[in-house]
Amino acid sequence: MRISISEINQLISQEMAGDGSLIAVLEEIQQRYRYLPREALILASERLDVPLSQAYAVATFYNAFSLKPKGKHCLQVCMGTACHVRGSPQVLNRIETTLGIAAGETTPDMLFTLETVNCLGACALGPIVVTDSEYSGQMTVQKSDMLLKRIMRAEEAKKDG
């Protein structure tokens, strides 16, 4: 995805018309680019008149922000105790093998980012995989295969249609 300085300026201007907070600006940029490009942090810092170190401090403090590009689809596998004992390590291993990436990485085609989280707070449904904010509970290796196939089919349909 190509970074557009004019688009970043427009996003910043829109947020400055509202409450103009650094977090709100970074959220808009993150939503558009799926990460915070260095150029965007510098521009936000300058336009909002906050030190660049403060912009980086905010960007690295909150888990919602990423300094690395993320894939179109973000898969989060819960590794909390309840999910772990119910099989999340096997689910994670299967997803890593299927996508050819390790947790914390993004596929070369920028379609998937795979992450682990310590707890999603839905222990009764464990193991859980969250895909683009959609919770899939009682996940198994077979269900993870079906989940990935469903996403890939939807992506292919978008290309064809």
Residue 139: pLDDT band with limits 50, 70, 90: very high
Q: How far apart are CA 11 and CA 22, in angstroms?
A: 12
CB-based contacts of 137, cutoff 8 Å, min separation 6:
122, 125, 126, 127, 128
Does pLDDT of 71 surpass 90? Answer: yes
H-helix or E-strand containing 68?
A: none
Cβ count near 128 (within 10 Å): 26
Looking at residue 147, its pLDDT comes to 96
Task: Give pLDDT, residue 133.
Answer: 87
Residue whose tokens read 């977090």: 23
Q: How far apart are CA 143 and CA 53, in angstroms?
A: 43
At 65, the pLDDT band (50, 70, 90 cuts) reads: very high
* Residue-range domains of the chain with CATH: 5-61 (no CATH), 73-160 (3.40.30.10)
Give the three-state DSSP class for 140: coil
